[in-house]
């Protein structure tokens, strides 16, 4: 499996090059110009020309791409126009906040979604199942940006249980445990909003998949052997039922990142979602290329992890 993982990782390289080239060309084809953005409403033609030359934007696009690729091979992804700092440094400085937000949302929604899905499947068509299925249908239908606004209004503005924005309390300089608690307190609402859609999805999927498995012959055999209901459901049916669920969770990486962009803007969460938004409005080409590269890498890695999980869950799957 290790060799399989390494081979898959090596396959990432050509993907990455293609992605970088595509992004590099596409964002330059979009209307708008980073220099006019940097200059805001100001500057005469001479000033704009000088700035364009300073950032190398006066050269042909092919030449720019070649220079970019040869630098990127040496690990230099250029400097952000807006921050005047290396792209890698800018992204790495904001990555932990997003990983924390996405990770928490994904972990909580997966665990909770599995539990609720199992519960719903075991008591199919009961009153409890009805509540869970309806609730998860609703959860899937709510757009996260709308939900986020409502959640802020109710739980932060009106009830005052949670802060409205940010990752920490601006006035306080907490350290140690107090800092961790402060971050957790700020994390609760955005992670809940981001996770709710996943939770609904995983609940519904687990329920459907598990119900299908419970109707299979081997479950009847297991029951006939006199195994307890818990053994039947959790040790026999569930591992088989989980395969489609794992596929879906792994494929959700891109969607969660998209959701994170909106959630980070609304809650003023200092992560890369907001960096993507700001870099797009500023036409910060180097930063944007770097960010899309990282996002694409994230999707590829999520797929790899999904495949590896498959092998663990299903002994019939052999990875070579």
For residue 197, state whether it binds another protein (rule: CB under 8 A).
no
C-alpha closest to that of 96 among 104, 107, 106, 87: 104
Cα torsion 280, 284, 289, 292: sign: negative
For residue 140, state whether it binds another protein (rule: CB under 8 A).
no
Smallest distance from another protein to CB 33, Å: 7
Q: Where are the alpha helices (DSSP H) in 143-233?
A: 144-151, 176-214, 217-224, 229-231
202 close to 249: Cβ distance less than 8 angstroms: yes
108-127 residues near another protein, rule: CB under 8 A: none
**What are the CA-CA distances from residue 107 to residues 99, 111, 183 (Å)?**
11, 6, 17
Q: DSSP secondary-structure letter at 81?
A: T
The one segment of 56-64, 133-141, 230-238, 277-285 that binds another protein by CB under 8 A: 277-285
Residue 128 tokens read as: 């409890």
Residue choice 10, 13, 29, 41 for contact with another protein (CB under 8 A) = 41
For residue 94, state whether it binds another protein (rule: CB under 8 A).
yes
The one segment of 48-56, 63-71, 193-201, 293-301 that binds another protein by CB under 8 A: 48-56
| Residue closer to another protein (CB basis): 117 or 286 | 286
In sequence order, what are the residues at sequence separation of 6 or more whose Cβ sits closer than 8 angstroms to the Cβ of residue 113?
198, 199, 200, 201, 202, 203, 205, 206
For residue 37, state whether it binds another protein (rule: CB under 8 A).
yes
For residue 219, state whether it binds another protein (rule: CB under 8 A).
no
For residue 146, state whether it binds another protein (rule: CB under 8 A).
no
For residue 175, state whether it binds another protein (rule: CB under 8 A).
no
For residue 168, state whether it binds another protein (rule: CB under 8 A).
yes
Residue 97 tokens read as: 């906040």
| Residue closer to another protein (CB basis): 62 or 160 | 160
Smallest distance from another protein to CB 299, Å: 23
Smallest distance from another protein to CB 192, Å: 16
Residue choice 16, 21, 108, 156 for contact with another protein (CB under 8 A) = 156
For residue 44, state whether it binds another protein (rule: CB under 8 A).
yes
Smallest distance from another protein to CB 206, Å: 34
* CA pair distance 55, 47, nearest whole angstrom: 13
For residue 179, state whether it binds another protein (rule: CB under 8 A).
no
Token pair 């690729």 is found at 69
In sequence order, what are the residues at sequence separation of 6 or more whose Cβ sits closer than 8 angstroms to the Cβ of residue 52?
35, 58
Burial of 313 (0-12, 13-18, 19+ CB in 10 A): middle
C-alpha closest to that of 202 among 278, 276, 139, 254: 139
Task: Report how many residues bind another protein under the rule CB under 8 A.
Answer: 54
For residue 267, state whether it binds another protein (rule: CB under 8 A).
yes
For residue 29, state whether it binds another protein (rule: CB under 8 A).
no
One-character DSSP codes across 78-98 = -B-TTT-SBHHHHHHHHHHHH
Residue 210 tokens read as: 């598990």
- Site for another protein, rule CB under 8 A: 30-33, 36-48, 50, 54, 79, 82-85, 90, 93-94, 149, 152-153, 156-157, 160, 163-171, 265-268, 270-271, 274-275, 277-278, 281, 283
């Amino acid at each position: 499996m290790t060799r399989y993982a390494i081979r898959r990782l090596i396959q990432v390289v050509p993907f990455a090059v293609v992605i970088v080239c595509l992004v590099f060309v596409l964002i330059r084809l979009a209307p708008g110009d980073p220099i006019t953005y940097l200059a805001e409403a100001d500057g005469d033609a001479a000033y704009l020309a000088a700035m364009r030359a300073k950032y190398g934007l006066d050269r042909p696009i092919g030449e720019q791409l070649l220079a970019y690729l040869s630098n990127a091979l040496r690990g230099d992804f250029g400097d952000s126009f807006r921050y005047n700092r290396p792209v890698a440094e800018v992204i790495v400085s904001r990555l932990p906040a997003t990983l924390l937000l996405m990770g928490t949302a994904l972990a909580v929604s997966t665990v909770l979604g599995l539990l609720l899905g199992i519960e719903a499947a075991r008591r199919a068509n009961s009153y409890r199942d009805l509540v869970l299925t309806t609730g998860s249908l609703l959860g899937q239908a709510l757009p996260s940006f709308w939900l986020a606004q409502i959640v802020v209004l109710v739980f932060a503005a009106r009830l005052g249980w949670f802060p409205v924005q940010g990752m920490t309390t601006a006035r306080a300089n907490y350290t140690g445990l107090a800092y961790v608690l402060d971050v957790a307190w700020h994390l609760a609402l955005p992670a809940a909003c981001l996770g709710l859609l996943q939770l609904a999805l995983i609940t519904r999927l687990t329920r459907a998949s598990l119900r299908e498995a419970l109707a299979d012959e081997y479950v009847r055999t297991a029951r006939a052997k006199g195994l307890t209901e818990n053994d039947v459901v959790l040790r026999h049916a569930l591992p088989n039922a989980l395969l489609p669920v794992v596929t879906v969770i792994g494929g959700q990486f891109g969607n969660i990142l998209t959701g994170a962009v909106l959630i980070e803007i609304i809650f003023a969460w200092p992560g890369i979602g907001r960096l993507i938004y700001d870099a797009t409005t500023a036409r910060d080409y180097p930063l944007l290329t770097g960010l899309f590269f990282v996002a694409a890498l994230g999707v590829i890695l999520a797929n790899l992890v999904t495949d590896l999980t498959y092998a663990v869950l299903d002994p019939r799957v052999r990875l070579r």
